[in-house]
Amino acid sequence: MNRLDQATSPYLLQHKDNPVHWTTWGPDAFAEAKRRGVPVLLSVGYAACHWCHVMAHESFEDPATAAVMNELFVNIKVDREERPDVDTIYQSALALLGESGGWPLTMFLTPDGEPFWGGTYFPPSARYGRPGFIDVLKSVHGTFLRQPDTVAKNVGALKDALGKLSASRAGGMPSLEDLDKVARSLARNVDPFFGGFGGAPKFPNVPGFLTLWRAWIRTGLQPFLEAVTVTLNRMCQGGIYDHLGGGFARYSVDEEWLVPHFEKMLYDNAELIDLLTLAWQDMKTPLYQHRVEETIAWLFNEMIVGNGGFASSLDADSEGEEGRFYVWTEKEIDQVLGEASPSFKRAYDVTALGNWEHSTILNRSRSPDLLSPDEEGLLGRARAKLLEVRAGRVRPGFDDKTLADWNGQMIAALANAALAFQRPDWLEKARAAFAYVERVHGRGDRLLHSARDGKAQHAGLLDDYAQMTRAALTLYEASGEGAYLAKARAWSKVLDAHFWDAQNAGYFFTPDDGEALIVRTRNAHDNATPSGNGTQAANLARLWYLTGEASYRDRAEAVIGAFSGDVSRSAMAFSTLLNAAELLLAGQQIVIVGDRAGSDTKALLDAVAALSLPNRVLQVIAPGDALPAAHPAHGKGQVDGKATIYVCEGTTCSLPVTEAAQVPPLLLPR
């Protein structure tokens, strides 16, 4: 029988009526496989995954296929977003088998959870150069029963290789010159015409572009600036951006950012808000401000759940078709807009033939420059009419579970943007989301990873603690409330107690008191989301600057050193770790002494927030309050009773400044 009806994951619930006898991950499933003497079929996907839906419709909803699955296997369904710890192990196993990873992931395991073969999507019958799924099922089952030595050999080789994946090459702390070399290498891989790294498909890859942006701020060299701005300009005006509802899709299947894989993920939009905000602070590009405002409006309109938390994703599919909700025909545009249609069609690439499968993905790639305010106003009113009509369509699936790490990413992005754009309403939403995670995901100082309908489950992972610590530190900067700093310290303490690798340094992905899987993974490379080790290294650097406690600096250096020897193999994969190294080397400690509610303090704070300062560590302290004794600005106060700013790098602080106009030359290196 199918046992997914008791699950909370929207993805698992999508499969509760399949004729497959699905069960959830856990000891009962493996015990059943041992009792029956059959292998385990592990299927991993997520709610917004298009090819997961395709395989479900073709195979898992088919009674004949389900009958074979039920006879030959114990079938386990996993939501990769709920259990990234499970997914990362078996994705790694698939890569070791020489296969490209992705979702749906289809892995075959022994009753002890050990992988011995697998793949991703399998068609119902042989095509695309792939065998038919039923043929695969029968072949794998036959091998398991009749060739135990072959299975044992595969299991042994894979387990040995999986164990080695958590090994890393230690190295020293990279210098700023090393970071310049990495940035030059990254810049050479950016498409000079359309932006993005390499060719199709193209992902935003924000950590890599943050590395390039940092290099621009650090050096003032134009190639770094151009690599980032051409990418942002193309993405902001391309089809990967939803020009009606706001928000970015997960990636583009073509090199021009025209055709998205239409799902919208919370984490992508958090990262892009961060990067666009940093770029706007330096360039003051109206396009970047529009995209930040529109993406945040989308977030508030469509993604808030549970009194403040942020949902995970919107699906690519509706009515069984990818992108159906988002695309238009010329006839539809004409019917809705009437006389305003011709100018809109020119701006948004609308033609009779369409630009994708006889329909149009709205984009402004052919004429990306903003028009006059009056013309943009007309286009805005046209978009509003189309959005109103689109609201009547069948909506894509909505994954309303909340994940602690993804919420942490968005909270930090919102808080940063709130400071930059002087939007206290955004800050309040960030605070509400933080309170939601504490209330729903929190268990004292411990976190649970996933929640839905107020029910949280699954032990918190490295990324949960690292991203929520970053969120707490960002809210501390934005609000000045000491409770956020205290929470960041508490969560960092949990990581040190339950995740630290005492033998090799760095943090494991799972806690020492969590579920024991076949391997305990540990790495520092970025995946779809930024590396947990890289993120926490930056958090530790900030905590050192804020508290003066050398133990934070020492631990940050240990994390970076534990993995820095691997950077030479693929610098792009370690962008978050390298960005943390720059923060540790060159953090700008900005201290404003003044009443946070005072107009003079606000003027200095606004002047700081208007600047693109990736290495900013900001504190506003009231007159008479003391900084830690080890802080380089310890003992410094106001000048003539006015709000006063000090900027410290290393152990040296600037002269005091009281005028907002003097802040930019004090802070900008160029």
Residue range 531-557: average pLDDT? 97
Domain match, 462 and 475 both: yes
Query: Is 280 contained in some domain?
Result: yes
Separation between Cα atoms, residue 143 and residue 149, nearest integer Å:
10
Residue 56 pLDDT exceeds 60: yes
Domain match, 352 and 367 both: yes
**Least confident span in 21-30, 157-166, 247-256, 400-409:** 157-166
Query: Is 408 contained in some domain?
Result: yes
Domain match, 546 and 439 both: yes
pLDDT tens, 87-146?
999 999 999 998 888 999 999 999 999 999 999 999 999 887 788 999 999 999 999 999
Do residues 394 and 318 make contact, with C-beta atoms less than 8 angstroms apart? yes
Domain match, 635 and 523 both: no
Contacts of residue 483, defined as CB under 8 A and 6 or more positions apart, other chains included, come to none
For residue 290, how many other CB atoms are within 10 A of its CB? 17
Query: Is 79 contained in some domain?
Result: yes
Residue range 337-358: average pLDDT? 96
Check residue 301 and give its pLDDT. Answer: 97
Residue range 66-76: average pLDDT? 98
Check residue 129 and give its pLDDT. Answer: 77
Domain match, 233 and 181 both: yes
CATH code, domain carrying 653: 3.40.30
Packing angle, helices 176-188 and 575-586, rounded to 10: 150
The answer to whether the bond into 104 is cis (omega within 30° of 0) is yes
Query: Is 90 contained in some domain?
Result: yes
Domain match, 105 and 188 both: no
Check residue 529 and give its pLDDT. Answer: 96
**Which of 373, 392, 411 delimits the end of a domain?**
392
Q: What percent of the chain has pLDDT over 90?
A: 92
Separation between Cα atoms, residue 117 and residue 94, nearest integer Å:
7
Check residue 670 and give its pLDDT. Answer: 55
Domain count, the chain: 4
Mean pLDDT of the chain: 96
Residue range 229-243: average pLDDT? 98
Bridge partners (DSSP) of residue 442 are 447
What are the structure tokens assigned to 339, written together? 């006389």
Domain match, 551 and 648 both: no
Whole-number Cα distances in Å, 386 to 73, 258, 424 = 49, 19, 30
Query: Is 338 contained in some domain?
Result: yes
Residue 602 phi/psi, 5° resolution? -60, -40
pLDDT tens, 144-182?
999 999 999 999 999 899 988 888 889 889 999 999 999
Query: Is 614 contained in some domain?
Result: yes
Do residues 345 and 351 make contact, with C-beta atoms less than 8 angstroms apart? yes
Check residue 669 and give its pLDDT. Answer: 62
Query: Is 15 contained in some domain?
Result: yes
Query: Largest alpha-carbon pair distance within the chain?
Result: 87
Residue 638 phi/psi, 5° resolution? -75, 160
The whole domain housing 593 covers: 588-667
**Which of 347, 369, 392 delimits the end of a domain?**
392
3-state DSSP assignment of residue 466: helix
Domain match, 562 and 623 both: no
Catalogue the long-range contacts made by 199-204 (C-beta closer than 8 Å, 24 or more residues apart): 199/255, 200/252, 200/253, 200/254, 200/255, 201/251, 201/252, 201/253, 201/254, 201/261, 202/251, 202/252, 202/254, 202/255, 202/257, 203/250, 203/251, 204/235, 204/248, 204/251, 204/268, 204/271, 204/272
pLDDT tens, 442-489?
999 999 999 999 899 999 999 999 999 999 999 999 999 999 999 999
Q: What percent of the chain has pLDDT over 70?
A: 100
Query: Is 171 contained in some domain?
Result: no
Domain match, 443 and 547 both: yes
Domain match, 559 and 597 both: no
Domain match, 420 and 508 both: yes
pLDDT tens, 604-640?
999 999 999 999 999 999 998 989 998 999 999 999 9
Domain match, 424 and 527 both: yes
CATH code, domain carrying 45: 3.40.30.10
**Which of 524, 552, 586 delimits the end of a domain?**
586
